[in-house]
Chains A and B, each alone.
Chain A
């Protein structure tokens, strides 16, 4: 079991640039979640999908953030344009109806 795979592990970019974070879920998991972690706000759920369909995006901070899941093996979280306050660790987690969520190791994003 390869676990949840996130890429890149680290990303440093300048303000205004587009940022794309990627997640490969565990095979067979039909739920996928995107979280953000900062010192100030802790771990926050941004959006989650079931069977590739977005179910709840109420945690997405603003229109600059978008997430897609084109198929069961891949999801992206995009920030355009990026701002320094978007700097955080972004986690992807996946699960099924019978199993607790499994988290990836995260992407550490720094916006200069």
Chain B
């Protein structure tokens, strides 16, 4: 599975959009980009995933560059409850949904009032 690079920490003002970047320059054609987050003392929570098209759900939007070497998770209106560690994971479909998820160190997002 391809490795990912994320900034260790970011701040965001409450009510503003939070844009979390992720680099995955060695991604393969059959690998998806997955985002999970972990709020303090809870288990990781699935947010969104995509292959090459941009994706949106009730929680967030995922923007994947055309060459698929990087992506951005967007929380459109961050709230204090969005303070968490955000993990970007790249993995082949079969292994991500039904197999290994390799977690890196993630980005600690601090949403401030």
Residues on A facing B (Cβ under 8 Å): 4, 31, 33, 42-45, 48, 50, 55-56, 91, 93, 95-106
Contacts and interface: CB of A to CB of B under 8 A. Distances in A.
A105 B44 CA distance: 8
Is chain B's binding surface mostly helix, strand, loop or mixed?
loop
Interface residues of B, number: 20
Contacts of A31: 98-99
A93 B104 CA distance: 17
Contacts, number: 52
21 contacts: A4-B43, A31-B98, A42-B105, A45-B102, A50-B98, A56-B99, A56-B100, A91-B43, A93-B43, A95-B97, A96-B98, A97-B98, A99-B97, A100-B96, A101-B46, A101-B101, A103-B45, A104-B43, A105-B41, A106-B42, A106-B43
Q: Is the interface of A mostly helix, strand, loop or mixed?
A: strand
